Amino acid sequence: MFKGKKVMLGVCGGIAAYKAIELLRLMVKAGADVSVVMTASAREFVTPLTFQTLSSNPVHSDLFDLYQEKEIGHISLADGADLFVIAPATANIIGKIAGGIADDLLTTTVMATRAPVLFAPAMNVHMYENPIYRRNEKSLRELGYHFIDPAFGALACGYEGQGKLPDPEAIFTAAQAVLAPQDLAGQKILVTAGPTREELDPVRYLSNYSSGKMGYAIASAAVQRGAEVVLVSGPTFLSAPAGVELVPVVSAEQMRACVLSVLPSATAVVKAAAVADYRPLTVAEQKIKKNDAELTVSLEKNPDILAEVGEKKQGQVVVGFAAETENLLKHASDKLKRKKLDLIVANDITQSGAGFDVDTNIVKLLHADGRVEELPQLSKDEVAHQLLDRVVALLH
């Protein structure tokens, strides 16, 4: 979403101004060309040099300096932007913009831009709850300005409550959603993620190395693109992406029940979960004690959830995953046909930069019509968007 995009990052005076540095770093890493506008009070908290060094662009603060330039500075900043992010946004700046006041570079530039604007407010909880602030935020929202709600927690002023600047990652995701095409609006996407755990006794289970990262990235990207998303997830250490309905499950049987109950109302299903193919035939009621003999555990087959989805689908687009260690294309295309899929995402987990618990993936996309697309090594977020581009095409 950020590649080649011009982003204006407005930084206001607040203790959370330092978090804007990490936000800037995330956007630059994602390929954005970021220019920073600081208010005079922001400069009391963080130095412009930090932003300048990390953005490789001059930092702007003074309305009148820019008037000396050939172009009218605030107009060229406003016109050139694809997105404005104001983080932290104080009650003061939000009030001024809501009231049409443009008395410094940031407010003037925001007033002059036609780009979408995302505010990340941060303030004392009583200020945040103040009806004057609430009215200003409401009127900006009604005019199409975007907001990410502040987080709850201990505030720098000593109070506890809502008013903390959200984590830079959360603001980054919200900014990505503002830039994303809303091409999945009106669609309901069912995503599965993570491993399943198959209980052996009260203290042990069979499972696999899946981290859930790929499925969570797909769920998050689908929400950004306007979809309603149900994420059925086995146990992971990840938090639910904002806006996603998370249904936590443990075993393959539980995952199957959830998937089949959501399936009729879904328009697309993406099964990124690493489902255990077998489960212990019996679950010991008490902890299995060791003795000198070898232990043999009998396993029975779990249901193949995706194959069942392929049988029961009624017009849904169905996407599967194939994580393989050998004969990638052959195994993946067998699964595509056997499970009646529209698309399968195949990856060779022996390659570095692909597979479980890494942040990147190297995948091939096999289509039901025989086409095979090879994608380069991409972040899991990028793979998610590439995959959703294909889902959008299939839905239409």
**DSSP character at residue 3:** T
Q: What is the token pair recorded at 127?
A: 């200020």
Q: Say whether residue 194 binds ligand CTP (CB under 6 A).
A: no
Question: Among residue numbers 332 through 361, which ones bind ligand CTP (CB under 6 A)?
Answer: 335
Residues 6+ apart with CB under 8 A from 277: 301, 302, 304
| Segment interacting with ligand CTP (CB under 6 A) among 26-34, 152-160, 297-305, 373-381 | 297-305
- Compare residues 205 and 321 and give the one whose CB is closer to ligand CTP: 321
The correct pick among 140, 200, 252, 365 for binding ligand CTP (CB under 6 A) is 252
Nearest 5 degrees, angle CA 33-CA 88-CA 239? 85
- 123 binds ligand CTP per the rule CB under 6 A: no
Q: In this complex, which beta carbon is closest to ligand CTP, that of residue 10 or of residue 355? A: 355
Residue of 22, 79, 201, 277 that binds ligand CTP (CB under 6 A): 277
Query: Residue 391 in contact with residue 270, Cβ under 8 Å?
Result: yes
Number of chain residues interacting with ligand CTP (CB under 6 A): 14
In angstroms, what is the minimal distance from the CB of 304 to ligand CTP?
A: 4
Q: Which one of the listed residues 72, 132, 154, 157 is annotated catalytic?
A: 157
Which residue of 97, 105, 223, 275 would you call a contact of ligand CTP, by CB under 6 A? 275
Looking at the Cβ atoms of 169 and 357, the one nearer to ligand CTP is: 357
Tokens of 134: 């609430």
Q: Is 269 in the site for ligand CTP (CB under 6 A)?
A: no
Q: How far is the C-alpha of 2 from the C-alpha of 81, rounded, in Å?
A: 12
Q: Closest separation between CB of residue 393 and ligand CTP, Å?
A: 20
Binding mask 298-317 for ligand CTP (x = CB under 6 A): ----x-xxx-----------
Task: Name residue 204's beta-bridge partners.
Answer: 201
Which range touches ligand CTP (CB under 6 A), out of 63-71, 242-250, 268-276, 368-376?
268-276
Question: Rounded to an integer, what distance in angstroms lies between the CA atom of residue 304 and that of residue 296?
Answer: 24
Q: Is 271 near ligand CTP (CB under 6 A)?
A: yes
**C-beta of residue 184 within 8 angstroms of C-beta of residue 225:** yes
* Cβ neighbours, 10 Å, residue 104: 17
Asked if 322 touches ligand CTP (CB under 6 A), the answer is yes
Question: Residue 34 burial by CB count (10 A; 0-12/13-18/19+): exposed, middle or buried?
Answer: buried
Residue 351 tokens read as 């390659």
The reply to whether 258 belongs to the active site is: no
Residue 273 interacting with ligand CTP (CB under 6 A): yes
CB-based contact 387:270 (threshold 8 Å): yes
Give the single-character DSSP code of 371: -
Stretch that binds ligand CTP, among 35-43, 118-126, 166-174, 320-328 (CB under 6 A): 320-328
Question: Residue 31 has what DSSP assignment?
Answer: T
How far apart CA 391 and CA 342 sit, in angstroms, is: 9
Stretch that binds ligand CTP, among 41-49, 146-154, 271-279, 386-394 (CB under 6 A): 271-279
Question: Pairing relation of β-strands 228-233 and 360-361?
Answer: unpaired
Question: Of the listed pieces 129-137, 197-205, 231-239, 321-329, which binds ligand CTP according to CB under 6 A?
Answer: 321-329
Among 7, 30, 59, 323, binds ligand CTP (CB under 6 A): 323
Smaller CB distance to ligand CTP: residue 208 or 267?
A: 208
Of 5, 26, 381, 365, which Cα lies nearest the Cα of 222? 381
Least distance in angstroms from the C-beta of 334 to ligand CTP: 9
DSSP for 164-184 reads: EPPPHHHHHHHHHHHHS--TT
Q: Which amino acid is at 264?
A: P
Active site residues: 157
Please give the residue ranges that form the binding site for ligand CTP (CB under 6 A). 252, 271, 273, 275, 277, 302, 304-306, 320-323, 335
